[in-house]
């Protein structure tokens, strides 16, 4: 196996390192989606396919996770499989969990917030995932607001996602992102998508219609050193959006069950995702996989457009 390159306390895969050093496009990928977002073996297969899609579209994939206490940027096949098999035995790792997992020599699957932290440390500007966390329903009482939102407010990485699941409070999530100063854009629409469907009833002012437009937005944010992240929401492909309404009904049932069982905190999202998958007989998983792959395609194209735009003007953060 190729030797990882050590940078500070982080190990970077050689392919990722050389791409960054040469200004070539790299796309960061999170690992909680692998450990907690899907069951084995679909999680492993999807992770591999997502990496292939990123490559086919001209960028280098960099899946991020903490293994035996070391943060890795770009996982080997063995590491990816290990993470997929361990599944929920791996600690779901948000920003606040990083020091604990590292000091204890543990295994951590990075959420959007922790993945953004590491992507930014090595200068990866674009990061692809399925959906981000948000303000939970009844968040005004529980204060359960994902650290993904505050991370977007302070870390200049662009996150490509299919929006926010309706297990969350979408209008309040958008309000909170506005408070954090995060630019929220939608690809090909003005309506923010709700993960399994193209609609949420919430309009956003920024619409982008090509990877080049996305790249220009990212470049403007960076040139002005605003320091905030960007969320680009890519609606689920039309072929899969059809099952959205059925999935939406399952979400309502899962929400009622979570309330009854008092499932709260960082257990809420994995519980709801697994329950919705059971209730829809796997249809939600099929839609989830399709939209993650679609996001990977878009993210790679955006990162290629950004590298072209910046050719010769950006120095590596390494
Ligand atoms: O549709 C999804 N939303 C969110 C997650 C994961 O859950 C995290 C948010 O968790 P929490 O709500 O505990 O912050 C996200 O960063 C992501 O890693 C996921 O797998 N799938």
Question: What's the complex ipTM?
Answer: 0.97
Pocket of ligand 1 (CB under 6 A): 30, 32-33, 36-37, 94, 111-112, 130-133, 146-148, 165, 195, 266, 269, 273
Mean pLDDT of the chain: 94
| pLDDT at 54 > cutoff 90 | yes
**Strand 183-187 vs strand 91-93: parallel, antiparallel, or unpaired?**
unpaired
Dump pLDDT digits (tens) for 204-249.
999 999 999 999 999 999 999 999 999 999 999 998 876 777 888 8
Q: What is the pLDDT of residue 162?
A: 97
| pLDDT at 316 > cutoff 80 | no
Is residue 30 part of the annotated active site? The answer reads yes
Over range 48-59, report the average pLDDT: 98
Q: Which of 11, 30, 51, 293 is catalytic?
A: 30
**Considering the chain, what percentage of its residues have pLDDT values greater than 90?**
82
Dump pLDDT digits (tens) for 104-163.
999 999 999 999 999 999 999 999 999 999 999 888 888 999 999 999 999 999 999 999
Is residue 140 part of the annotated active site? The answer reads no
Dump pLDDT digits (tens) for 68-77.
999 999 999 9
Residue 317's pLDDT band (cuts 50, 70, 90)? confident
Pick from 132, 258, 284 the residue to mutate for probing ligand 1's pocket: most ligand atoms within 8 Å of its CB.
Answer: 132
């Amino acid at each position: 196996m190729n030797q990882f390159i050590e940078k500070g306390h982080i190990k970077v895969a050689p392919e990722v390192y050389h791409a960054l050093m040469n200004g070539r496009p790299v796309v960061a990928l999170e690992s909680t989606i692998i450990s907690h977002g899907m069951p084995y073996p679909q999680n492993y297969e999807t992770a591999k396919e997502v990496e292939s899609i990123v490559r086919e579209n001209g960028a280098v994939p960099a899946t991020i996770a903490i293994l035996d206490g070391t943060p890795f940027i770009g996982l080997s096949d063995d590491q990816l499989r290990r993470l997929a098999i361990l599944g929920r035995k791996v600690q779901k790792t948000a920003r606040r969990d990083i020091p604990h997992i590292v000091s204890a020599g543990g295994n951590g699957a990075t959420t959007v917030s922790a993945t953004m932290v590491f992507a930014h440390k090595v200068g990866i500007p674009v990061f692809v995932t399925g959906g981000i966390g948000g303000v939970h329903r009844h968040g005004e009482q529980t204060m359960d607001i994902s650290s993904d939102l505050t991370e977007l407010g302070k870390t200049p990485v662009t996150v490509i996602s299919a929006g926010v699941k309706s297990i969350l409070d979408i209008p309040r999530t958008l309000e909170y992102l506005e408070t954090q100063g995060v630019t929220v854009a939608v690809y090909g629409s003005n309506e923010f998508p709700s993960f399994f469907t193209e609609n949420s009833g919430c309009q956003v002012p920024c619409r982008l219609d090509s990877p080049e437009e996305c790249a220009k937005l990212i470049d403007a944010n960076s040139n002005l050193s605003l320091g905030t992240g960007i969320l680009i929401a890519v609606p689920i492909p039309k072929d899969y959006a059809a099952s959205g309404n059925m999935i939406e009904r399952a979400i309502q049932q899962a929400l009622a069950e979570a309330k009854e069982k008092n499932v709260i905190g960082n257990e809420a999202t994995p519980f709801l995702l697994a329950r919705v998958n059971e209730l829809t007989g796997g249809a939600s998983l099929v839609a989830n996989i399709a939209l993650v792959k679609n996001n990977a395609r878009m993210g790679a194209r955006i990162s290629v457009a950004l590298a072209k735009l910046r050719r010769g003007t950006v120095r590596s953060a390494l």
